[in-house]
Chains A and B, each alone.
Chain A
Amino acid sequence: MDAANYLYLSVLLFTIGAVGVVVRRNAIVVFMCVELMLNAANLAFVTFSRINGDLNGQVVAFFTMVVAACEVVVGLAIIVTIYRSRRSASVDDASLLKR
């Protein structure tokens, strides 16, 4: 099977994630879209690793997973705190820094 197909899938996943971040208001959904973009990147790394025949891409994919895990911990905590204080998980409502 042609390795390029995995790259097309990666681009597709990234685009879905990016569009989701821009158009959706719910913080949880935005968050999931971000995860989707990270995983699209992971897929690209692993694919390139396969194409080039070395392990660098695989290693970076592990790092990305660690970063994503940390991000989930911090991000979810923030979203829950905002929801508790504002009774809303919409990212458009949390625009206080403007003023």
Chain B
Amino acid sequence: MTTSNSLVYLIALPLLGATILLLAGRRADKWGHILGTLMSGSSFAVGLYQLSQMLGRSNTARPVEQKLFEWISVGSFKVDAGLLLDQLSICFVLLITGVGTLIHIYSISYMSHDHDRRRFFAYLNLFIAAMLLLVLGNSYLNLYVGWEGVGLASYLLIGFWNQKPAYATASKKAFVMNRVGDMGLSFAIMIAFATVGTVSFAGIKEHAHHTSTAALTAMGIMLLVAATGKSAQFPLQAWLGDAMAGPTPVSALIHAATMVTAGVYLITRSNFIFDAAPTAQLLVVIVGAITLLFGALIGTAKDDIKKALAASTMSQIGYMILGAGLGPVGYAFAIMHLLTHGFFKAGMFLGAGSVMHGMNDEVNMRKYGALRKFMPITFVTFGLGYLAILGVPPFAGFYSKDMIIETAFNAGGIKGILLGSVTLLGAGITAFYMTRVMILTFTGKARWDEEAHPHESPLLMWLPMAILAIGSVSSGYLLSRGDALVNWLSPLFEHHGEHEELLAPIVVSALALGMVAIGVAIAFLKYSRQEVASVAPENVSVFTKIAREDLMQDRFNEAVFMRPGQQLTQVLVKTDEAVIDGAVRGVGKLAMGSSSLLRGVQSGFVRSYAALIFVGAALLIAAIWVVVQ
């Protein structure tokens, strides 16, 4: 395999940026944001250089490796800290550094009034470095380091304004729920080590054929648990909505475009495990299908623009997970949707940030309205993202989402029909809630608070939005023209024969567009024809109430895990105090009591000691005499 010495710079540059910014402290306040952006940008440049090198090689010789150092060497178990850049990771590298750099640029302006802007950029750089390590690691153990690194960066950035207790709680919630998923990943690594004896991707792929299906299934399920935690999938999805406490660029970069898609990367990267473990693969599909409906339903009831977008992210990642669970045919489409989603969702989040910037950080869409005239650029870029997520041709989502719907229908039998219907229904609901967001925010009557003075955002903010909007328009076409992405990724996945087609692609597209049209129409009837109340109405149906409560996810977690957990802890604490501490203290008390009794013997008078010695000696002699007799 080709080796390269420049892969490490991809990670080292942003890591260096983070180190300098964190160590330099307040002295770096003046230039910290520029350094952070430069480091992210130069990492992007290294990524482009690697892409150009990769394009120059033949299809099978494209992966590049770099061994950094021997990390673990215990007996027969050896792990090198090594990087692997192949056709899959380069997609992620360019998405992370490209979108990441745009968001750095956006943040210069968005965070300009924050006196902690330097620290913000340090964390952003730390995130970029950790995420690149995640996608570049050549073994599950290296991936794990990056996996934990992005978790840390996510925690730090969600709680960036941790002076507000609610935000600090949100970051803690995200961290704890992610830990549940991380446990899955560490279990998967342990199973791999115990059964296969290696943890590198290449090693496991090589041995996958003669590893027992049970072990592979267990590994697959544990990897799925990891993916559900990081990608906010059912049943570990509850943290994503609260994660919107972080500054909006963070939501765009980490909780829309990159980190939350790490689960999709993990499943796609582990294709050799899932292909050989049909049960785990089926679970992946089920999780994806549930989440895509779950997220979409939450999205319909949210008045907070960022939470509506977060629910949408959850739902779209559900599509990707579902695609990745459909096996060799689905991997490439999952990655394609991931890339196009990275463009349009990051763009829409930045748009939401731009709206908040102009509206005194108001997030309630019921207090927006009629912003089209005041923020034309934001309206256009957000609108292009909107068309892309709906899947209207020729925007990006049309290519990527329709491919997933089509693959779902072609999965065969009842499963195919069920999955296809779920994805179609999801597309309809997506159209409804995204149209609702558009109508509430940009059209209708102004429902602002009195002190709001909406205005267009400065150049540094709308330029990244515009670039991402161009991506939302064109990326789908570019990636699917001549099956570009599918062919690009094909050396990585094993191919089984062509699947029979249940429905022709044109029929699927027509069905999807029909669902989208219905969703848009309902949203128009409900929100454009009628007045929108600036305060959320209380007398709503029970379904709306449940959806506003995020489909009871927090209540469920609290009732099933949190309270029993707390009670268990209390029982354990009491047991600890009464039984264990009681035993320890009892031993101590026994020793103290008996010694204070014995202490009386120590009178301090030499003569009484001597008398005792004589008595003792006499007793001994008497005892010996008795025994001898």
Chain A interface residues (CB < 8 Å from chain B): 18, 21-23, 25, 30, 91-92, 94-99
| Chain B: CB-nearest residue to A91 | B606
Q: A92-B607, A98-B603 are in contact. List 6 more A-B contacts (CB 8 A).
A: A18-B614, A21-B610, A22-B607, A91-B605, A97-B604, A99-B604
> Are A95 and B614 within 8 A (Cβ)?
no
Give Cα distance in the complex from A23 to B608, angstroms.
9
Among A18, A22, A95, contact of B603 (Cβ-Cβ < 8 Å): A95
| Chain A: CB-nearest residue to B599 | A98
> Are B604 and A96 within 8 A (Cβ)?
yes
Chain B 600-629, CB within 8 Å of chain A: the 1/0 string? Answer: 001111110011001000000000000000
Among B602, B604, B605, B607, contact of A21 (Cβ-Cβ < 8 Å): B607
The list of the 6 closest CB pairs from A to B, nearest first, reads A98-B604, A95-B604, A91-B606, A21-B610, A22-B611, A95-B605
Chain B, interface residues (CB within 8 Å), range: under 10
Query: How many inter-chain residue pairs (CB < 8 Å) link A and B?
Result: 29
Give Cα distance in the complex from A91 to B604, angstroms.
10
Chain B interface residues (CB < 8 Å from chain A): 602-607, 610-611, 614
Instruction: Give every chain A residue within 8 A of B614 (Cβ-Cβ).
Output: 18, 22
Instruction: Give every chain A residue within 8 A of B607 (Cβ-Cβ).
Output: 21-23, 25, 30, 91-92
> Are A22 and B610 within 8 A (Cβ)?
yes
Main secondary structure of the interface of A (DSSP, over half): helix
> Are A94 and B606 within 8 A (Cβ)?
yes
Instruction: Give every chain B residue within 8 A of A23 (Cβ-Cβ).
Output: 607
Q: How far is the CB of B192 from chain A (nearest CB, A)?
A: 66
Q: How far is the CB of B622 from chain A (nearest CB, A)?
A: 16
| Chain B: CB-nearest residue to A33 | B610
Give Cα distance in the complex from A30 to B606, angstroms.
10
Instruction: Give every chain B residue within 8 A of A30 (Cβ-Cβ).
Output: 606-607
Instruction: Give every chain B residue within 8 A of A91 (Cβ-Cβ).
Output: 605-607
Give Cα distance in the complex from A30 to B608, angstroms.
13
Some 11 contacts from A to B, beta carbons below 8 A apart, are: A22-B610, A22-B614, A23-B607, A30-B607, A92-B605, A95-B604, A96-B604, A97-B604, A98-B602, A98-B604, A99-B604
Instruction: Give every chain B residue within 8 A of A21 (Cβ-Cβ).
Output: 607, 610
Q: How far is the CB of A60 from chain B (nearest CB, A)?
A: 19
Instruction: Give every chain A residue within 8 A of B604 (Cβ-Cβ).
Output: 95-99
Give Cα distance in the complex from A10 to B426, angstroms.
112
Q: How far is the CB of B595 from chain A (nearest CB, A)?
A: 15
Instruction: Give every chain B residue within 8 A of A95 (Cβ-Cβ).
Output: 603-606
Instruction: Give every chain A residue within 8 A of B610 (Cβ-Cβ).
Output: 21-22
Q: How far is the CB of B377 from chain A (nearest CB, A)?
A: 89
| Chain B: CB-nearest residue to A99 | B604
Give Cα distance in the complex from A22 to B603, angstroms.
14
Q: How far is the CB of B171 from chain A (nearest CB, A)?
A: 59
Give Cα distance in the complex from A98 to B604, angstroms.
5
Give Cα distance in the complex from A94 to B606, angstroms.
8
| Chain B: CB-nearest residue to A97 | B604
Give Cα distance in the complex from A34 to B164, angstroms.
83
Give Cα distance in the complex from A97 to B602, angstroms.
9
Q: How far is the CB of A30 from chain B (nearest CB, A)?
A: 8
Give Cα distance in the complex from A25 to B610, angstroms.
12
Give Cα distance in the complex from A99 to B604, angstroms.
8
Give Cα distance in the complex from A30 to B607, angstroms.
9
Residue in B603, B607, B611 with the greatest tally of chain A CB atoms within 10 Å: B607
Q: How far is the CB of A36 from chain B (nearest CB, A)?
A: 14
Q: How far is the CB of A18 from chain B (nearest CB, A)?
A: 6
| Chain B: CB-nearest residue to A94 | B606
Give Cα distance in the complex from A18 to B611, angstroms.
8
| Chain A: CB-nearest residue to B614 | A18
Q: How far is the CB of B82 from chain A (nearest CB, A)?
A: 69
Give Cα distance in the complex from A21 to B611, angstroms.
8
Give Cα distance in the complex from A99 to B603, angstroms.
9
Give Cα distance in the complex from A25 to B605, angstroms.
10
Give Cα distance in the complex from A95 to B602, angstroms.
10
Instruction: Give every chain A residue within 8 A of B606 (Cβ-Cβ).
Output: 30, 91-92, 94-95
Q: How far is the CB of A96 from chain B (nearest CB, A)?
A: 7
| Chain B: CB-nearest residue to A22 | B611
Give Cα distance in the complex from A96 to B603, angstroms.
10
Residue in B602, B610, B611 with the greatest tally of chain A CB atoms within 10 Å: B610
Instruction: Give every chain A residue within 8 A of B603 (Cβ-Cβ).
Output: 95, 98
Residue in A91, A96, A99 with the greatest tally of chain B CB atoms within 10 Å: A91
Give Cα distance in the complex from A97 to B521, angstroms.
98
Give Cα distance in the complex from A91 to B609, angstroms.
11
Instruction: Give every chain B residue within 8 A of A96 (Cβ-Cβ).
Output: 604
Give Cα distance in the complex from A13 to B602, angstroms.
29
Instruction: Give every chain B residue within 8 A of A97 (Cβ-Cβ).
Output: 602, 604
Q: How far is the CB of A43 from chain B (nearest CB, A)?
A: 18
Q: How far is the CB of B376 from chain A (nearest CB, A)?
A: 92
Q: How far is the CB of A23 from chain B (nearest CB, A)?
A: 8
| Chain B: CB-nearest residue to A98 | B604
| Chain A: CB-nearest residue to B607 | A22
Q: How far is the CB of A93 from chain B (nearest CB, A)?
A: 10
Give Cα distance in the complex from A23 to B603, angstroms.
16
Q: How far is the CB of B242 from chain A (nearest CB, A)?
A: 64
Instruction: Give every chain A residue within 8 A of B611 (Cβ-Cβ).
Output: 22
Give Cα distance in the complex from A87 to B614, angstroms.
29
Give Cα distance in the complex from A98 to B605, angstroms.
8
